[in-house]
């Protein structure tokens, strides 16, 4: 069973990408058939409600630290903040080397952190994190797909209907 996101979202997968079983802690996952030596580029969507005082940079740093737990040569090669004050976002790119299929491979992960006000309590921020993971060889071929995917992500507002 996939993890539930803190806010409902809708999105459109790029052409050729297929939904797949989501790993633990991930709400949605998709892969691009045509692996690079056995590894298929993938997109994942997860999220939660971070503590109020936690910044986007702290969350992004924590993500890089988690990658360091299993990978070598981990480097944040790009990071930028964007978006309006009421819905800020952060994008970062991480390069790393990890074992895959018994061999050490070079990977790139692009992450986008979207902070959205909670519909029921605007003082709370919901986080939706989008990530693309690809081999260094695949990355240039799939980055535009990921950027297109990010542009399609929208919250689905639920409305309580009161009749009277």
Q: What is the pLDDT of residue 162?
A: 46
Q: What is the pLDDT of residue 2?
A: 47
The two beta strands, 28-31 and 18-20, are antiparallel
When mean pLDDT is compared across 9-13, 48-52, 72-76, the lowest value belongs to: 48-52
- Average pLDDT value for residue range 120-130: 81
- The span from the CA of 150 to the CA of 25, in Å, is 20
Of the pLDDT bands very low, low, confident and very high (cuts 50, 70, 90), residue 158 is low
DSSP symbol at 83: S
Whether residue 128 is predicted with pLDDT greater than 70 in this model: the reply is yes
Q: What is the pLDDT of residue 119?
A: 67
87, 88, 93, 94 alpha-carbon torsion, rounded to 10°? -100
Q: What is the pLDDT of residue 15?
A: 96
Q: How far apart are the two ends of the chain, measured CA to CA in Å?
A: 38
Q: What is the pLDDT of residue 79?
A: 97
Whether residue 47 is predicted with pLDDT greater than 90 in this model: the reply is yes
- The span from the CA of 100 to the CA of 68, in Å, is 15
Tokens of 50: 């971070």
Nearest to 10 by CA among 151, 160, 161: 151
pTM of the full predicted structure?
0.89
Q: What is the pLDDT of residue 63?
A: 95
Output the average pLDDT for the chain: 88
When mean pLDDT is compared across 15-24, 50-59, 77-86, 120-129, the lowest value belongs to: 120-129
- Average pLDDT value for residue range 73-97: 92
């Amino acid at each position: 069973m996939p993890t539930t996101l803190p806010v409902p979202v809708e999105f459109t997968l790029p052409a050729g990408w297929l939904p797949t079983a989501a790993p633990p802690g991930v709400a949605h996952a998709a892969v691009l058939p045509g692996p690079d030596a056995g590894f298929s580029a993938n997109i994942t969507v997860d999220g939660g409600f971070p503590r109020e005082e936690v910044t986007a940079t702290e969350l992004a740093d924590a993500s890089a630290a988690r990658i360091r737990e299993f990978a070598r040569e981990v480097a944040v090669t790009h990071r930028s903040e964007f978006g309006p004050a009421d819905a800020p976002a952060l994008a970062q790119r991480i390069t790393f080397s990890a074992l895959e299929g018994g061999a050490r491979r070079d990977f790139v992960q692009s992450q986008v952190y979207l902070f959205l006000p909670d519909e029921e309590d605007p003082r709370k921020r919901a986080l939706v994190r989008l990530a693309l993971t690809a081999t260094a060889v695949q990355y240039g071929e799939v980055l535009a797909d990921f950027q297109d995917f990010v542009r399609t992500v929208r919250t689905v507002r639920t409305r309580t209907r009161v009749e009277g």
